[in-house]
């Protein structure tokens, strides 16, 4: 069984506005509505690569219903827990001004709903995979990742954690199978600036010393670095292509890596799959497909 957790999923309203002006009425030149959230992105890319998973988390109101409906249309199984107070958030992403977003708060999640999610995760055991990705809503305990990983400790579940700062550092003692900081996040943990793969390697190894088994570091235009539990280090530049949409590229890298690992248990292949899937999403309006990933994989494998 493969599960992803998105505590605070969203409907992402992605719009393009030509010549955006503050204080005036602006009209969109293009728009689309997609289910969003880091764990959801992982489930979508896994599905595109032919690997089924179950998306877990919390939804509320009509927006929550729409998130589930759209995932069903995409062929992604979900078992979201409905909550009563509030609605699932709508995140506005303005393509015309790079990085400009207005994200909703999301619903309030009661303690009994949190316990219901944990009981769902109790089904996981030897050989299963769990993806924990993204932030923790204010209405939930801030040690939620720790509680989940402590509960699953010793069961043989391969946990993948894509989180920032203290959220990531505090779970390392539970030896996650994979962590994936980007180079900015890695630098923030250790109070340094990281610009190149060579600079990232010693700090990735420090995360291993703190408990992580494998460390995958995304470097934006610089590509990526993988430090494996076997002591191997892989480094590749970013494939050639035009950046269209960076949203979900890191999630796609995580999904591609694990898809490659589950296929072959070979770290080099998994690394290439991760870099290919992440780049495929970055070069596309939507998340990486199998054909797009396969095409870029060839480019990654041939590059030096």
CB contact at 8 A, 210 and 171: no
- Angle among Cα 188, 190, 194 to the nearest 5 degrees reads 65
Q: What is the mean pLDDT of each successive set of 10 residues along the chain, which is 304 residues long? A: 96 90 90 93 97 96 96 96 94 80 91 95 95 89 92 95 90 96 94 94 97 95 93 92 84 96 96 96 91 93 77
CB contact at 8 A, 260 and 129: no
pLDDT for residue 245: 78
> Which one, of 227, 220, 254, lies nearest residue 133 by Cα?
254
How far CA 199 is from CA of 216, 221, 222, 234, in Å, comes to 14, 15, 12, 14
Superfamily of domain 177-304: Ribokinase (3.40.1190.20)
Residue 251: active-site member: yes
CB contact at 8 A, 81 and 58: yes
41: which 2 tokens?
């992105």
Out of 77, 122, 251, 266, the active site residue is 251
Half-sphere exposure of 103 (CA within 13 A, CB side): 12
Q: Where are the domains of the chain?
A: 177-304
- Evaluate if pTM is beyond 0.95: no
Alpha-carbon distance 238 to 214, whole Å?
20
Q: What are phi and psi of 70, to 5 degrees?
A: -70, -35
């Amino acid at each position: 069984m493969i599960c992803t957790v998105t505590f605070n999923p969203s409907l992402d309203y992605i719009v393009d506005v030509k010549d955006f002006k503050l204080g005036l009425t602006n009209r969109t030149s293009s728009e689309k509505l997609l289910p969003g959230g880091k764990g959801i992105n992982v489930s979508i890319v896994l599905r595109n690569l032919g690997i089924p998973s179950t998306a877990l988390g919390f939804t509320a109101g009509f927006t929550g219903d729409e998130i589930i409906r759209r995932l069903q249309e995409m062929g992604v199984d979900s078992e979201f827990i409905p909550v009563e107070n509030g609605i699932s958030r709508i995140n506005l992403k303005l393509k015309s001004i790079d990085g400009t977003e207005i994200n909703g708060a999301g619903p309030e999640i009661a303690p009994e709903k949190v316990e219901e999610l944990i009981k769902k995760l109790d089904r996981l055991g030897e050989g299963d995979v769990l993806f924990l990705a993204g932030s923790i809503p204010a209405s939930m305990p801030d040690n939620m990742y720790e509680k989940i990983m402590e509960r699953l400790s010793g069961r043989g579940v391969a946990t993948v954690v894509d989180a920032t700062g203290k959220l990531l550092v505090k779970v390392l003692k539970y030896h996650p199978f994979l962590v994936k900081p980007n180079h900015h996040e890695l630098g923030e943990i250790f109070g340094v600036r990281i610009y190149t793969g060579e600079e990232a390697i010693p700090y990735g190894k420090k995360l291993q010393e703190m408990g992580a088994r494998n460390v995958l570091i995304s470097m934006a235009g610089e590509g990526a670095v993988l430090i494996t539990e076997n002591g191997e280090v892989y480094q590749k530049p970013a494939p050639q292509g035009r950046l269209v949409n960076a949203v979900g590229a890191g999630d796609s890298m995580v999904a591609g890596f694990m898809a490659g690992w589950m296929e072959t248990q070979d770290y080099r292949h998994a690394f290439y799959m991760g870099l290919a899937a992440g780049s495929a999403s970055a070069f596309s309006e939507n998340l990486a497909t199998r054909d797009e990933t396969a095409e870029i994989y060839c480019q990654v494998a041939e590059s030096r």
